[in-house]
Structure 1
Amino acid sequence: MKRILFVFTLLFSFHILSAQESDRKKLEEFLSKQQDITYERIETYKGGPLQYKLQIKQPLDWSDTHTGYFNQQVILTHTGFDRPMLMETQGYGMYDVKNELQQILNSNDLNIEHRYFGTSIPDSSIFNWKYLTLYNAAHDLHHINTIFKKIYGKKWISTGISKGGQTTIYYRYFFPEDVDVSVPYVAPINYSLEDSRIYSFLNSVGSETCRKKIKDFQLFMLKNEKEALKYVQAYSDIKGLTYNYLGSLGKAFEYTVLEYPFSFWQWGYSCDSIPQSNEVAKGVDYLIKAVDISFFSDQEIKQYAPHYYQAALEMGYYGYDISPFKNYLNYFTENPLATFPPKEAGKITYSPKLTKKLEKWLDTQGTNFIYIYGELDTWSATKVIPSLKTNSIKLELPGANHASARIANMDQVMRNQLSDSLYQWIGIRPNYSLLN
């Protein structure tokens, strides 16, 4: 009996490897014929999916291709030509972790780095901030979709997390027929540079007791700013952080204190963890763990410059309500914005035109969306609420934050909703047992 099982296992493994070799030849022949693609194979474990690192040639400006081209990084994971294709729309640089939907659908995957992030940056000779628009980013994705639909003819799904989820939503607005289903995770859609829904959320989330503890801690930090800066300076020196963009360490510190409630709820900190002592050193230590002041350093502001540029130009963002703290702030007399766009980009004028069009489109034509949010995540303040004019659904996980609002943490009722919608729209039911 053992011998029979061994032979069966051996034959089955041979069949799998033979099928994979056939797919490899077909896929690499296809990739070799694409003028806009260069590729290299990524070694995976024996019997694992085929994987390739791609460089895809994209116009800098889709409305004028004479401006030049850049290479966009994409990682292709192939499980089978009979499987659906998942487009992962990153909002930043490449985040190469196996996606939940890729797992439960056993899908192929195109993991797409956002233009102007990571390695997908134009050469300095043609670099210009003005081409970093949602119009161009969506057209990048459409170009990739058009290429691979020649060989992957099954159902297509797009997904992304946070800013990647925003990218998923905007992509679908510009090209509603490219994919069959869109599943954005924790994706805010902001309607102004200082979206006031953030303030309403922070003034009502959680318990009144917890909100008071948060505010009291902020006041304690600001009242003891002079002493706190000694510890913050020492930390900054160790980390090699500078604050020339903002102008001073003190201003960065006050930004950090104002950011604290946003980050507290976004990342799910416990109210019990808020320091109750009058020791400034312990307060600074806790604050830096909750909202690392490096977030406001030259180093990180530069790292996220493309993100801030997009927010300041057309995606919108949030600000800080200073009304409870005016008597203790040295650098602010009105609500500051949380955007720090690159100064070399010149004056940036925010336009709400695109988001207004998007809002109307989502309400009237935004079908086949599954929006995933966390109840306590600050970004849920600007969540999309599906209109009854569409068939789209919102799955909001109770008690979840920006990092925990995931399919893995859904209860069975919510998973059934997700499963039923996917089956209705693409004829596929997810296999949740495949979740890592």
Structure 2
Amino acid sequence: MRRLSMGPWLRPLMGLLGVALLPACEKTPPPGPEIPVCSEPGIPGMELQTQVRPGPVSTQATVDIRTQLESIPGLTILDEEQVDGFRFFTLDFEQPADHSNPQGERFLQRMTLFHSSGDAPMVMDTEGQAIFAEPIAAEPVYLLGANQITVEHRFYGTSRPASGDWKLLTIEQASADFHRVVETFKPIYGARWLSTGVFKGGTAAILHRFLYPDDVYATVPYALQHSLGLEDEAPGRALAQVGDEACRQRLAGLQRAALERREELLPFVDAMAGEGVRFDVLGRDRAFEFAVVEMPFNFWQRYGLAEWNCDSLPAPTAPARELFDFVSYVGDLAYLFSDDGLELNAPLRYQYATQFGSPRYPEEHLRPLLRHPGEHEVTRFPPQGVEKRFDRQLMERVEAWMRNDAQRMLLVHGSLDPWTASTFDVNVCKGAYRLVVPDSIGFYGVLGELNEPARGFVFGKLSEWAGVPVREQSSNPFQRRQLESRWRAKAERWPRLRTAR
């Protein structure tokens, strides 16, 4: 498959159609406190004059940052380098495995720090999984001339308690991790703190803000992933409307072709064993079928970010090798369903099965061709032999808070991302906004591509919340490099899946 440019989805948008706002004031909210009527029109067409007030500055600004880091108990500097004008540190920070028992087990949580100035705002990037290896800061960091501290989520990457006690993987414990980081670094960075995150990391930023509302002043999550139940059907229904109808039909045709030609394609799954990719847990047939079922969801979720688009779809009659390469790559066959992939993603699926919920992937249109219908359920995946009791009470409280009371929030989404269908409701009357950018997945970089008047409004809010002006730049260094590397950092773990170039 040829290498594809990812520029088209980020091309400047036209006029007022550059942004679609879905304010909660225009929706019928679920039962709960009545949302007051307000005159706040939301993002489109609103001009905003912002008077920037500088925030407090650090009293340690004259002390070298490395010296300050070395003085923090439990913090280890693993590496320092120069990245895009920042001093970039890789760190390990000792955390309690159980914050209700701080004298008990401890673990090292991986973090990174982009240091610009002790007087600049701080952006906290709450990762929802492992830290990406590529050292590129989030969009608000470049827009605001800010610092960034990125915190790996517990149980992912290297940030794993030795006990492996799954009961310690909760929203509450993870948010307490983030809170300790804020408490530790605020004496060094005394200006305004904002939080951000992409995908599940965006959800983590909201959850941390809910449980510790005084830690950061504002939150800007990108393409956050939120489900409305253990098997949320909303993202699946969105797949019937996303993008171009002809493209959707071609994807469905590829799913049917892959299942109809199953016996022709399965030998390629067997061949992966020679490269160390095994499917003993699920079995090759079940793993292959699950990848086919998830393929359209993955296709749209990463559209323009990964190496595919509607023009790159193979024909259903394509040679078996070409068809398999596409299905296995887009469907994340090895990354999600191999034995190693199941182990790697066990924390994610455990969280889905206990507190977060997950999407239900449409399979009705494939039922005559499925051998394992109804088995694609998150509770069936590893970790095995572990109690997974689904409890939505905390998420319901967060949803009510977002719908009625959350302030200084900007949820950034793209119309192509199926997760957008299940995002939180917000109340513009409280100064919380939801942005849905057409023909986009809402990844880092979209704010800098907005047209007026939405661009001025959003930049005005960022400036107001951070207490500094937005830096107007003709181009930000992350916008292309970020798109070229962040997601592919995951794909490169499975180079054998990448299609031939």
Q: TM-score, normalised by structure 2?
A: 0.76
* Residue 104 (1) aligns with residue 143 (2): yes
What amino acid sits opposite 1:381 in the alignment? A
Partner Cα distance (1:24, 1:340) in 2: 55
Match of 2:188 in 1: 151
Match of 1:27 in 2: 65
Partner Cα distance (1:313, 1:41) in 2: 36
Match of 1:290 in 2: 330
Pick aligned residue for 1:261 from 296, 299, 322: 296
* Residue 39 (1) aligns with residue 77 (2): yes
Match of 1:242 in 2: 278
Partner Cα distance (2:469, 2:332) in 1: 41
Match of 1:114 in 2: 153
Shift, 1:134, TM fit:
0.7
What amino acid sits opposite 2:299 in the alignment? F
SS at match of 2:470: coil
Partner Cα distance (1:365, 1:240) in 2: 50
Partner Cα distance (2:319, 2:66) in 1: 60
What amino acid sits opposite 1:400 in the alignment? S
Partner Cα distance (2:127, 2:88) in 1: 18
Match of 1:324 in 2: 365
The count of corresponding residues between Structure 1 and Structure 2 is 409
Match of 2:225 in 1: 188
Match of 1:224 in 2: 261
Match of 1:213 in 2: 250
Aligned counterparts, 1:319-358, within 5 A: 319-332=360-373, 334=374, 336-338=376-378, 341-344=381-384, 346-358=386-398
Q: Judge conservation of contact 1:319–1:338 (CA < 8 Å) in 2.
A: no
Q: Judge conservation of contact 2:222–2:411 (CA < 8 Å) in 1.
A: yes
1:57-93 deviation digits (Å, cap 9, x = unpaired): 2111112224311111222222112211111111112
What amino acid sits opposite 1:428 in the alignment? V
Match of 1:6 in 2: none
1:240-275 deviation digits (Å, cap 9, x = unpaired): 2111221x1111111011011101211224333333
Partner Cα distance (2:368, 2:74) in 1: 58
What amino acid sits opposite 2:441 in the alignment? N
SS at match of 2:430: coil
Partner Cα distance (1:312, 1:298) in 2: 19
Match of 1:135 in 2: 172
Structure 1 residues 128-137 or 390-399, which shifts more?
390-399
* Residue 401 (1) aligns with residue 441 (2): yes
SS at match of 1:394: strand
1:155-175 deviation digits (Å, cap 9, x = unpaired): 111111101111111111111
What amino acid sits opposite 1:68 in the alignment? E
Q: Judge conservation of contact 1:102–1:109 (CA < 8 Å) in 2.
A: yes
Aligned sequence identity (%): 29
Q: 1:167 to 1:329 in 2, by over 3 A?
A: same
Partner Cα distance (2:112, 2:385) in 1: 30
Q: Judge conservation of contact 2:131–2:157 (CA < 8 Å) in 1.
A: yes
Structure 1 unaligned spans of 5+: 1-21
Pick aligned residue for 2:234 from 197, 208, 211: 197
Q: Judge conservation of contact 1:363–1:389 (CA < 8 Å) in 2.
A: no
* Residue 178 (1) aligns with residue 215 (2): yes
1:2-39 deviation digits (Å, cap 9, x = unpaired): xxxxxxxxxxxxxxxxxxxx957443443344323233
Q: Judge conservation of contact 1:320–1:335 (CA < 8 Å) in 2.
A: no
What amino acid sits opposite 1:321 in the alignment? P
SS at match of 1:325: helix
Q: 1:403 to 1:82 in 2, by over 3 A?
A: closer
Q: Judge conservation of contact 1:129–1:345 (CA < 8 Å) in 2.
A: no
Match of 2:432 in 1: 392
Larger Rg: 1
Partner Cα distance (1:279, 1:54) in 2: 48
Q: TM-score, normalised by structure 1?
A: 0.87
Q: 1:329 to 1:34 in 2, by over 3 A?
A: same
1:297-335 deviation digits (Å, cap 9, x = unpaired): 111111122111111110111122222222111122x26
Partner Cα distance (1:388, 1:43) in 2: 41
- Relative contact order higher in (CA < 8 Å, ≥ 6 apart): 2
Shift, 1:354, TM fit:
1.3
Q: Judge conservation of contact 1:170–1:358 (CA < 8 Å) in 2.
A: yes
Aligned counterparts, 1:41-120, within 5 A: 42-44=80-82, 48-95=85-132, 96-120=135-159
Q: Judge conservation of contact 1:142–1:175 (CA < 8 Å) in 2.
A: yes
* Residue 276 (1) aligns with residue 315 (2): yes
Partner Cα distance (1:223, 1:49) in 2: 53
SS at match of 1:43: strand
Structure 1 residues 218-227 or 286-295, which shifts more?
286-295
Q: Judge conservation of contact 2:343–2:382 (CA < 8 Å) in 1.
A: yes
SS at match of 1:88: strand
